Amino acid sequence: EYILEFKEIAKDNMRRHGIPASITLAQGILESGAGRGTLCVNANNHFGIKCHTGWEGETVRHNDDSEQECFRKYTRAAESYNDHSLFLTTRGRYAALFKLPKDDYSAWAHGLKAAGYATDPKYPDKLIGLIERYDLAGHDADVLGRQYTPKQPAAPVVKEPSRTASKPEVVAMAEGSHQVQQGETLYSISKKHNTTVDDIIRLNGLSGNAISIGQVLKVK
């Protein structure tokens, strides 16, 4: 189970960096496909962190915004979690987040979207939904030394591959639309529909290349 395996890492990062463990875990679940994503499996990269200038560690190639982009490869998942924390703490556009209460996961979820972490308008709702479904706020309370009453029995996040669990529910798509599936990128979607990444960004009013599983995009 993803949460059971990585909750202590997320809590330790909360203590050291001030990022709510609930937010970190929800982002990890969403962005790694609960540990089943290609980058997570092959490179211990839970948050899709690219190489960037100055990276001297191991790397792996993966089709993302462009073909065969360079991503960081980690020996342990904890390294990926730490890099994610440093990504947020060392960039000025996220500074406002650290003025928010550490137990206000809703404010953090909306703050991430406002700071430009993701272009999906439903990104905050997806994080909040995961946090409330799996009672992830309890881990924030543990770190803060506060009492916490679960809202509901926590549902398991199964890590083993499953034909049904690994894909979002596919809804009927109108002509010229595409629902993002696990492992897809704007680059792979553009090739599938014989268009370009720039055209998809323009059609959907995106400010960047980040997309989420289940997001519906216009492709024509």
Q: What are 146-205's pLDDT values in tens digits?
A: 887 776 544 455 444 444 444 444 445 567 888 888 777 777 787 788 888 778 877 877
What's the pTM value of the predicted model, to 2 decimals? 0.68
How many separate helices (H) and strands (E) can be counted in the chain? 9, 4
8 A C-beta contact, residue 211 and residue 180: yes
Beta partners for residue 69, in sequence order: 62
Residue, of 14 and 197, whose pLDDT is higher: 14
Residue, of 219 and 172, whose pLDDT is higher: 219
Share of the chain above pLDDT 90, in %: 43
Query: What's the mean per-residue pLDDT of the chain?
Result: 83
CA 166 – CA 93 distance, rounded (Å): 33
The SS3 of residue 174 is coil
DSSP, res 65: S
pLDDT (0 to 100) of residue 160: 46
pLDDT (0 to 100) of residue 165: 45
pLDDT (0 to 100) of residue 149: 74
Q: Where are the beta strands (DSSP E) in 136-212?
A: 177-179
Q: What is the pLDDT of residues 49-85, one digit of tens each?
A: 888 767 788 888 876 656 777 888 999 999 999 999 9
Question: Is residue 4 pLDDT above 90, yes or no?
Answer: yes
Give the residue from 102, 134, 147 showing the smallest Cα distance to 11. 102
> What is the CATH code of the structural domain delimited by 177-218?
3.10.350.10
For residue 210, what is the enclosing H or E element? none
Residue 203: exposure state from Cβ atoms within 10 A (0-12, 13-18, ≥19): middle
CA 157 – CA 46 distance, rounded (Å): 15
Looking at domain 2-144, does it have CATH number 1.10.510.10? no
DSSP, res 28: H
All structural domains of the chain with their residue ranges: 2-144, 177-218
The SS3 of residue 70 is strand
Are the folds of 2-144 and 177-218 the same?
no
pLDDT (0 to 100) of residue 152: 55
Q: Which amino acid is at 198?
A: D
Q: Which amino acid is at 21?
A: A
pLDDT (0 to 100) of residue 164: 43
